[in-house]
Structure 1
């Protein structure tokens, strides 16, 4: 299966989730958040086309990385390809983080025509940082998110409980930094 990426994979990120991570930078975003730090990823027809098999080969070679992060652009515009990639990472005992401009509640809304595709991807995501970047709520003291409206969500617990469950350890770490 093909996926549209904004750039080559990043193999050594330490800011897109905990530990050393590989980042899959998706191309295409419909949110157009003011102040976005990746505006070059917005064009839906930009970037490069890559086969998911090539990304899976790269995941299988990883040794030091704790996990992968799906970012962009907007990952939930390419759920089918990313589901394959995320599932392979999980099979390799890696954790999967994802950044989205959508709210979790939008993704799991059964009236959403992409509900089943969203759920298939969410089943292989451990942590979701959701909501659009809001420049007026930008805060450089936050960990793993750019604005205070964004949430760091424990996806599996949220799916099981049918209510958003936050990853409080990151919120507590932010409070300790602010002190």
Structure 2
């Protein structure tokens, strides 16, 4: 797995001040994507244990509310495998911090037994998320008044409540 950027003290991609990881690789390739350079799976820097350690250290200050995963596409199977150890480490060290994930896939696509994007690690990765912002960016549905998303088809999903209830529960924070 590679990543394009890590932003510490990010205020745009979830509640509060966050660390945001922009992974590389995306097969969705939404028209008018704000980071098309991240579509290539080998774009940027290799994701290593040192990267995980840097992210964990960046989350230590009490004013940092959590981690946001963006892309590229975090839910590409190759990226899920790389992200699972990260989110496990974050929740073990900082259980009070939230993890948000932005994906062009829908939750239903991630939960359907289909060849892509669901893989062996999908359920485990979802279980560590607090909020999933799902759905492709659609230029015709762009609305700059929306919180934490670019187009009105995208949903902010409360993942723990959704997994518990067995149906989509929207985040209303």
Q: TM-score when scaled to structure 1? A: 0.86
The separation in 2 between residues aligned to 1:76 and 1:115, in whole angstroms, is 9
Alignment of 1:10-159 (within 5 A): 10-61=7-58, 62-63=60-61, 64-77=63-76, 78-91=79-92, 92-93=94-95, 94-112=97-115, 114-159=118-163
The separation in 2 between residues aligned to 1:162 and 1:60, in whole angstroms, is 34
The separation in 2 between residues aligned to 1:35 and 1:74, in whole angstroms, is 15
Superposition CA RMSD, Å: 1.5
Q: TM-score when scaled to structure 2? A: 0.89
Aligned pair count reads 166
Could you list the runs of 5+ residues in structure 2 that have no partner in the other structure? none
More divergent stretch after superposition (118-127 vs 159-168)? 159-168
Contact 2:19–2:55 at 8 Å: present in 1 too?
A: no
TM superposition shift of 1:111: 4.1
TM superposition shift of 1:53: 4.3
More helix by share: 1
Of 3, 6, 12, 1:5 maps to 3
Could you list the runs of 5+ residues in structure 1 that have no partner in the other structure? 170-179
